[in-house]
Structure 1
Amino acid sequence: MGGLIMSEQDYSQSEMEKALDSVHEVKIGDVVKGEVLAIDDGQLVVGIQGTGVEGVVPLKELTSDRSANIEDQAKVGDVIDLVVIASIGHDKENGSYLLSKRRLEARKVWSDIEAKFKAGEAIPVTVKEVVKGGLVVDAGVRGFIPASMVSDHFVDDLKEYVGQTFDVKIIEIEPSENRLILSRKALVQKEKEAKREELFAKILPGDEIEGKVARLTNFGAFVDLGGVDGLVHISEISHQRVDKPSDVLKVGEEVKVKVLSVDADRNRISLSMKALQPGPWDSVTEVAPVGAAIDGKVKRLTTFGAFVEVAPGIEGLVHISQISHQHIATPNDVLKEGQDVKVKVLSVDPENRRLSLSIKALTEKPASENDRDNQAQDDSEDNYVLPETDTGFSFGELLGDAAKDIEDDSDK
């Protein structure tokens, strides 16, 4: 019976061996549970359950948000899942370990991303910043989208994507190197193709629709109609002359357009903005009533006259015969492009967009011209007809010595 009796010393030693056997050795990479014992100097002090040792979790290993308050991340008594990332003590039994919650969560994210990559699924990301060559995104872990894979066309300024959230396709993944390469281009193309088919099935010439300016070029503006871009040629932006589309439009601007033509085979839609704007000729009779004297600017000179702009988009013709009382060979003799002039409205034809103007009607006729008109009137009263050809000489000069002889005879 005595052999069955265990001494107190033997009992204590046995219990100690059992306790030691229950303590698991801590290894780098182990996933453990840690009970928050204290929050000290910007880090958590935790007891690693089942080991009898302690570890620390700095704020940067709790969250990727460097501005976070550690008091909001955990409380004393909380039990959280952690991964052992380093040993920082020398005593095997009582030493401390560096632990991380953030890296454990990242490990789970990488596992999920790998599963979706194998299944060919897209993942959502949020753009954090623009770096050389592309975009840095948050996919639960850090990811990168090369600039060539951001969209289906060249993007001049990638900053417009910062803060945006969208789906991307996984191109390359390597968790051990924290490498995650993504692409938005393929999904954009797929989405646009679906929208293109839907739009082309219902859009017709003459339709008036709203869109957003997507891109500006030297020859016009591309307007997003909901996944499909249509072109507003520079000549269709405004009734007034537009030198550059960027002078009057901005990327992202909402515009209303009229569909001019649709070519599904060539994937082209021609649009117009000016077709929905009041035309300048609609109010021409108010701007330039017949008989009115108005200001204008010489826009073009031709052999037969000068085109003068009297209001934005409204030009009228001053025929060469209406430029000056004097005979001129070409309008260039007295006018220059860009010159400000005063004109009188002779006639208005809104339907055919014609405006007849005169400069000489507002200028005083030279005295020599008045004398010639008066002489012509006197001669007509005496039934004397002057030659039809204007020689440029006065009547007295035409008579010459004959007039002198008449004067000498009268003196005799």
Structure 2
Amino acid sequence: MSEEMNVQAQNEAEAAMSQVTVIKKGDIVTGKIVKVEDSGALVDVGYKYDGLIPLKELSSVGIDSANQAVEVGQEVQVKVIGINDAKEELTLSKRAIDSEKAWEALQAQLENKAIIEAQVAEVVKGGLVVDIGVRGFVPASMVERHFVEDFADYKGRTLRLQVKEIDREKNKVILSQKDVLDQEYEAKKKEIMAGLTIGQVLEGTVQRLTQFGAFVDIGGIDGLVHISEMAWSHVGHPSEVVKEGDKVKVQVLKVEPEKDKVSLSIKSTQAGPWETTAESIKVGDIVSGTVKRLTTFGAFVEVAPGVEGLVHISQIAHRHIGTPHEVLKEGQEVNVKVLDFNSAEKRVSLSIKETEEAPVQEAKPEKERQPRGDKSGNHAKEIANNENVSLNSQGLSTTLGELFGDKLAKFK
């Protein structure tokens, strides 16, 4: 090879070397992912050979494969954490750069209460781990507005989060999705409550049951159906009527925005017992019922679920009684006759004695009876005094004028 050619080759080599990026440990450089392997990702940063981002330096959280963090052709900013030209080893870290940027962003997000999105990387004891440039932790109590028993299917989900607490020295970041959901719920609740009207009928979903009623979702907010509004009949526990997840029709009874309360009724959307009973019970019918309450003036008897009628004290027995307690007791089953049924006024008049045969009157002893044709002194005088009549010997009634008219004429 001629000397001229050697010079040319040397010049080309020097020119090529001048194009190679000069880097050293600690430098921050930008490159492009050229290959993704199980152990990491290869990056072209313009150096004489490609650099490697090991798996542990790709993400702040544990990952199983490099393709969970990067893909071929992606541009990345990395930090040089190791260089060995003799072995052509260039070790890079994406995590270090992400972490530095993340802490700055997290501080601003904490102050501004910003909402960020992050994917669940791990499900651990007590909550979820997300990658936000650093390792972020979402406690179990801050994932949803409701209790979640098992988070197994949350891995890979994208959550909308707010930063609750950061501590850079301890590499600690606490986030909450519940706060985001609570804020959205409150905003939605105000909007929905503003559109509710008393008497409005809606379809809802039973969310949870308590001793005193059921909470029903009516399109983004929960309203309470008190146990007294669950059915027309007596309800001991809401589970007797509904279960969680049931679709139900409810009527709006009361809206109290200042208390964040909506009162609902299930029974108001259904035909009442008075309407349905009016179709099956008619005046004159004899039906069975249960004595519910006793008062001084009578007894209230339930003849159908939610329908009570009054048996007035005069209609309890054929004989005279001073108080209903003499004859009846609460819980007693009785037969009653319907005397009057007014569903519009929710009033029923009932009778017990008309379902029973009247007792036979006992005949008086002979000596206590007064014969009809008795002409004897006292009885005749009483009749004469009261009726202004006298009895003749034949038992025929005659006026006083007829008997003494001629004698009375002398005094005229």
TM-score in terms of structure 1 length: 0.59
Matches within 5 A, 1:34-53: 36=34, 39=37, 42-44=38-40, 46=42, 49=45, 50-52=47-49
**RMSD, aligned CA:** 5.7
1:402 corresponding residue in structure 2: none
Q: Is contact 1:171-1:183 (8 Å) kept?
A: no
Q: Is contact 1:258-1:275 (8 Å) kept?
A: yes
- SS at 1:290's partner residue? coil
Matches within 5 A, 1:342-381: 342-358=335-351, 370=359, 373=360, 375=362
Equivalent position to 1:181, from 164, 175, 181: 175
Query: Relative to 1, partners in 2 of residues 1:376 and 1:141: Cα closer, same or farther, differing over 3 Å?
Result: farther
Does structure 1 residue 283 correspond to structure 2 residue 279? no
Distance in 1 (alpha carbons) for counterparts of 2:339 and 2:121: 66
Cα offset, 1:282, TM superposition: 0.8
Query: Relative to 1, partners in 2 of residues 1:38 and 1:273: Cα closer, same or farther, differing over 3 Å?
Result: closer
Distance in 2 (alpha carbons) for counterparts of 1:81 and 1:150: 31
Q: Is contact 2:60-2:133 (8 Å) kept?
A: no
Stretch deviating more after TM superposition (266-275 or 15-24): 15-24
1:192 corresponding residue in structure 2: 186
- SS at 1:375's partner residue? coil
Question: Which letter does structure 2 place at the counterpart of 1:81?
Answer: V
Cα offset, 1:110, TM superposition: 5.8
Query: Relative to 1, partners in 2 of residues 1:86 and 1:126: Cα closer, same or farther, differing over 3 Å?
Result: closer
Question: Which letter does structure 1 place at the counterpart of 2:190?
Answer: R
Question: Which letter does structure 2 place at the counterpart of 1:196?
Answer: K
Distance in 2 (alpha carbons) for counterparts of 1:272 and 1:71: 51
- SS at 1:284's partner residue? helix
Q: Is contact 1:257-1:272 (8 Å) kept?
A: yes
Cα offset, 1:281, TM superposition: 0.3
Deviations 1:48-71 (A, max 9, x none): 551536636449947979677969
Cα offset, 1:94, TM superposition: 1.4
Cα offset, 1:259, TM superposition: 4.0
Equivalent position to 1:27, from 21, 25, 28: 25
Query: Relative to 1, partners in 2 of residues 1:135 and 1:357: Cα closer, same or farther, differing over 3 Å?
Result: farther
2:234 corresponding residue in structure 1: 241
Deviations 1:55-95 (A, max 9, x none): 364499479796779699757xx6763746866x9x66316
Q: Is contact 1:34-1:48 (8 Å) kept?
A: yes
Q: Is contact 1:238-1:274 (8 Å) kept?
A: yes
Equivalent position to 1:81, from 76, 93, 104: 76
Distance in 1 (alpha carbons) for counterparts of 2:339 and 2:123: 62
Larger radius of gyration, structure 1 or 2?
2
Query: Relative to 1, partners in 2 of residues 1:92 and 1:233: Cα closer, same or farther, differing over 3 Å?
Result: same
Distance in 2 (alpha carbons) for counterparts of 1:344 and 1:29: 101
2:399 corresponding residue in structure 1: none
- SS at 1:289's partner residue? coil
Q: Is contact 2:39-2:65 (8 Å) kept?
A: no
Cα offset, 1:278, TM superposition: 1.4
Matches within 5 A, 1:6-405: 15=13, 19=17, 22=20, 24=22, 27=25, 30-31=28-29, 33=31, 36=34, 39=37, 42-44=38-40, 46=42, 49=45, 50-52=47-49, 55=52, 57-58=54-55, 61=58, 81=76, 83=78, 93-94=86-87, 96=89, 113-114=106-107, 116-117=109-110, 121-124=114-117, 143-144=136-137, 157-158=147-148, 168-174=161-167, 177-182=171-176, 184-185=178-179, 188-189=182-183, 192=186, 196=190, 199-200=193-194, 203-209=196-202, 217-221=210-214, 231-245=224-238, 247-249=240-242, 255-262=248-255, 269-302=262-295, 305-319=298-312, 337-338=330-331, 340-358=333-351, 370=359, 373=360, 375=362
Q: Percent identity?
A: 37
Question: Which letter does structure 2 place at the counterpart of 1:314?
Answer: V
Unaligned 5+ segments in structure 1 are 385-412
Distance in 1 (alpha carbons) for counterparts of 2:118 and 2:69: 25
Deviations 1:249-304 (A, max 9, x none): 55666554444455566665554443332111012222322333444444444555
Query: Relative to 1, partners in 2 of residues 1:85 and 1:183: Cα closer, same or farther, differing over 3 Å?
Result: farther
Distance in 1 (alpha carbons) for counterparts of 2:161 and 2:51: 41
Stretch deviating more after TM superposition (159-168 or 333-342): 159-168
The number of residue pairs the alignment matches comes to 362
Distance in 2 (alpha carbons) for counterparts of 1:60 and 1:18: 31
Q: Is contact 2:302-2:308 (8 Å) kept?
A: yes
Q: Is contact 1:56-1:96 (8 Å) kept?
A: no
Query: Relative to 1, partners in 2 of residues 1:62 and 1:183: Cα closer, same or farther, differing over 3 Å?
Result: closer
Cα offset, 1:13, TM superposition: 12
Unaligned 5+ segments in structure 2 are 372-412
Distance in 2 (alpha carbons) for counterparts of 1:140 and 1:334: 83
Deviations 1:190-219 (A, max 9, x none): 87368637844x654444455555665544
Stretch deviating more after TM superposition (344-353 or 327-336): 327-336
